[in-house]
Amino acid sequence: MKIQTSKLVAAALLPLALLISIPAAAASHPFEFHADASMQHEQYGPIEQAYGYMNVVTDDNGNGTINVMFSNGSGLDLAQFNARVKFLDTAGAIVKEEYFDCWMDAEGLREAIECKVTKPLSLSNFDSVEVDFYLSEIDELNATAAVY
């Protein structure tokens, strides 16, 4: 009975040991990633009607494009919209960082003001992507009127 139990345990643990021993691989290409969020300010928190969107698209060789779009439908005048895009390896260490920013006015008469910033990407040795959207350089009077 002991022999059969130990064989059963070994048979159950062998696939798990093989999975753990396989080295983690980088992102396979072509690669596509999308993220969006409400814009935040360090002091004022989330800002109503202010959004960021980002996508990364690569080809089979890892060459591609990073697109970041901002939308300001709030009452903020001349706010700086920012995005920090981080490319991480399998251990979570930053392989590359890209920063995007766009100065934007308050909303138009009928719709939000939008801005798009694009950068080329030639990086094939990353595992994942993270993005932080945030606002900076906001006039205090305008910010307090736009906070959620």
Q: What is residue 26's predicted lDDT score, i.e. its pLDDT?
A: 60
Nearest to 52 by CA among 100, 3, 122: 100
Q: Kindly list the structural domains of the chain, giving each domain's residue range(s) and its CATH number in brackets, ordered by start.
A: 32-146 (2.60.40)
Q: What is residue 16's predicted lDDT score, i.e. its pLDDT?
A: 38
Q: What is residue 35's predicted lDDT score, i.e. its pLDDT?
A: 97
Q: What is residue 140's predicted lDDT score, i.e. its pLDDT?
A: 57
For residue 107, the tally of other CB atoms under 10 A from its CB is: 18
User: Which pTM value belongs to this model?
Assistant: 0.73
Mean pLDDT by 10 residues, the chain (148 residues): 48 40 59 94 88 95 94 84 96 96 76 92 92 84 48
Residue 133 and residue 146: Cα distance in Å, rounded? 17
Where are the extended beta strands (E) located within the chain?
32-41, 45-58, 63-72, 79-88, 94-104, 113-122, 128-136
Whether omega for the bond prior to residue 23 falls within 30 degrees of 0, making it cis, is no
Q: What is residue 62's predicted lDDT score, i.e. its pLDDT?
A: 83
Q: What is residue 15's predicted lDDT score, i.e. its pLDDT?
A: 44
Q: What is residue 108's predicted lDDT score, i.e. its pLDDT?
A: 58
**The token pair that represents 115 in the structure block:** 């801005």
Residue 120 and residue 64: Cα distance in Å, rounded? 6
Q: What is residue 3's predicted lDDT score, i.e. its pLDDT?
A: 53
